[in-house]
């Protein structure tokens, strides 16, 4: 046996099932500098036939048969009661059992969240999982969290998101284990008194707690795409709206540009000549390059792939899972949670209280 990193795949999840998940596995395997092995959960016959068509997968994948799946409209509570033995459940269970280092699924988000939380439990001191999104910016990527797992968030949760987001960014985007991510809290202005109580309280804690990242204070919506910071912290309602607003804007630009360029034969000619530039722009806005939203805060790595992701996108979700699983992000989170509880026990003397 080699020292390969083992990943557990819900091969039936996503809008396209095995055709996309198995091709995604093949792409991820080909692109990875790290040796990888896979456990694929799903229909044996279907998976065997997809695997047989890709010789590079030989000896790298094992199939665990199941003929049940969780459908897209299953509620989280139903998924917990009746989800046992499905491809999604088994994919997460393999992480719990220690057979795999991470699970990847393109299935039902609420079900994945509930089943992962039940099986893996929250890591020490953390309250609830958060979903993090990687946002393409002028400078690279910005991690935005939470983007939908937690609708109402208090200050303590926002602080946890900062800790988890910084560790995520370091593992997946920083390119160096020593990098100190720049973290901001999303607000409607940059002054201390702006925004609602939760963001102001989180801001105060983050300024004083001495955590292992570079806290930059409040940021605004326009800072996201500018890449003003590496990690942007917000509640799941605002984060989900911001993320989808950005997706809508990307589609709006794409369609507006396309229709502007096809107005006359002259503009069509220009577009043809500049096609290399337009292709590089398209690649820059390609959702597959950012696919893969980890559920942070669990004892184990679980990554959600977008249901409509193609094989390239699914491969990217696998890459994110492998980077996280191979990193020390769990240790870093635990260390910052420890710092946080020490800071709470011995609050810093507020500077304005010191008189000479």
Contact residues for a copy of itself, defined by CB under 8 A: 137-138, 148, 151-152, 186, 188, 195-196, 220-226, 234, 236-238, 240-253, 255-257, 260-261, 263-264, 266-267, 269-278, 280-281, 284-285
Q: How far is the CB of 345 from a copy of itself (least distance, A)?
A: 31
User: Which is nearer to a copy of itself, 226 or 348 (by Cβ)?
Assistant: 226
Q: Least distance in Å: CB of 83 to a copy of itself? A: 19
Q: Element (H or E) spanning 296, and its range?
A: strand 293-296
Q: Which is nearer to a copy of itself, 250 or 326 (CB)?
A: 250
Nearer to a copy of itself, 85 or 270 (CB): 270
CB 236 within 8 A of CB 154: no
DSSP H helices in the chain: 18-31, 44-52, 76-82, 87-96, 109-120, 155-172, 197-208, 221-226, 236-261, 265-273, 275-284, 311-326, 329-345
Closest contact distance (angstroms) between CB of 313 and a copy of itself is: 17
Least Cβ distance, residue 241 to a copy of itself (angstroms):
4
- Judged by beta carbon, residue 125 or residue 227, the one nearer a copy of itself is 227
335-340, Cβ contacts within 8 angstroms, sequence gap of 24 or more? 335/212, 336/163, 336/166, 336/167, 336/211, 336/212, 337/124, 337/125, 337/126, 337/160, 337/163, 339/209, 339/210, 339/211, 339/212, 340/159, 340/163, 340/205, 340/209, 340/211
Q: Which is nearer to a copy of itself, 49 or 245 (CB)?
A: 245
In the complex with a copy of itself, which residue's Cβ is closer, 162 or 315? 162
10 Å CB burial of residue 204 (0-12, 13-18, 19+) is middle
3-state secondary structure of 349: coil
Which residue lies nearer to a copy of itself by CB, 274 or 331?
A: 274
Least separation in angstroms between residue 234's CB and a copy of itself is: 8
| Closest distance to a copy of itself from the beta carbon of 206 (Å) | 18
Contacts of 59 (CB under 8 A, 6+ apart): none
Smallest distance from the beta carbon of 178 to a copy of itself, in angstroms? 28
Please provide residue 160's backbone torsions phi and psi, each rounded to the nearest 5 degrees: -60, -40
Q: Least distance to a copy of itself from the beta carbon of 71, Å?
A: 15
Taking residue 244's Cβ as centre, other Cβ atoms within 10 Å add up to: 12
33 vs 273 by CB, closer to a copy of itself: 273
Residue with tokens 């204070």: 217
């Amino acid at each position: 046996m080699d020292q390969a990193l083992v990943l557990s795949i819900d091969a039936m999840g996503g809008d396209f099932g095995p055709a996309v998940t198995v091709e995604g596995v093949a792409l991820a395997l080909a692109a990875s500098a790290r040796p990888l092995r896979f456990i694929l959960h799903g229909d044996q016959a279907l998976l065997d036939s997809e695997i047989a068509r890709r010789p590079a997968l030989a000896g790298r994948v094992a199939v665990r048969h199941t003929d049940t799946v969780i459908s897209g409209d299953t509620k989280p509570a139903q998924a917990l009661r009746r989800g046992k033995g499905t491809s999604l459940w088994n994919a997460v269970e393999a992480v719990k059992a220690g057979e795999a280092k991470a699970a990847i699924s393109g299935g039902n988000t609420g079900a994945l969240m509930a089943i992962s939380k039940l099986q893996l439990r929250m890591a020490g001191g953390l309250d609830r999982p958060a979903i993090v999104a990687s946002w393409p910016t002028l400078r690279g990527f910005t991690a935005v969290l939470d983007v939908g797992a937690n609708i109402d968030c208090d200050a303590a949760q926002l602080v946890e998101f900062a800790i988890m987001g910084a560790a995520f960014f370091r593992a997946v985007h920083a390119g160096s284990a020593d990098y100190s991510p720049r973290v901001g809290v999303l607000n409607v202005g940059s002054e201390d008194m702006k925004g609602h109580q939760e963001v102001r309280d989180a801001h105060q804690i983050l300024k004083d707690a001495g955590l292992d990242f570079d806290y930059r204070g409040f940021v605004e919506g326009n800072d996201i795409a500018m890449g003003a910071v590496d990690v942007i912290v917000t509640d799941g309602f605002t984060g989900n709206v911001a993320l989808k607003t950005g997706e809508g804007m990307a589609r709006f630009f794409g369609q507006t540009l396309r229709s502007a360029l096809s107005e006359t034969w002259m503009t069509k000619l220009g577009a043809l000549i500049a096609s290399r530039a337009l292709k590089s722009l398209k690649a820059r806005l390609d959702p597959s390059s950012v696919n893969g939203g980890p559920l942070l805060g669990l004892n184990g790595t679980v990554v959600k792939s977008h249901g409509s992701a193609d094989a390239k996108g699914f491969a990217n979700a696998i890459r994110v899972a492998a980077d996280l699983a191979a990193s020390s992000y769990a240790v870093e989170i635990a260390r910052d949670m420890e710092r946080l509880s020490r800071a709470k026990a011995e609050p810093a003397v507020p500077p304005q209280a010191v008189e000479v």
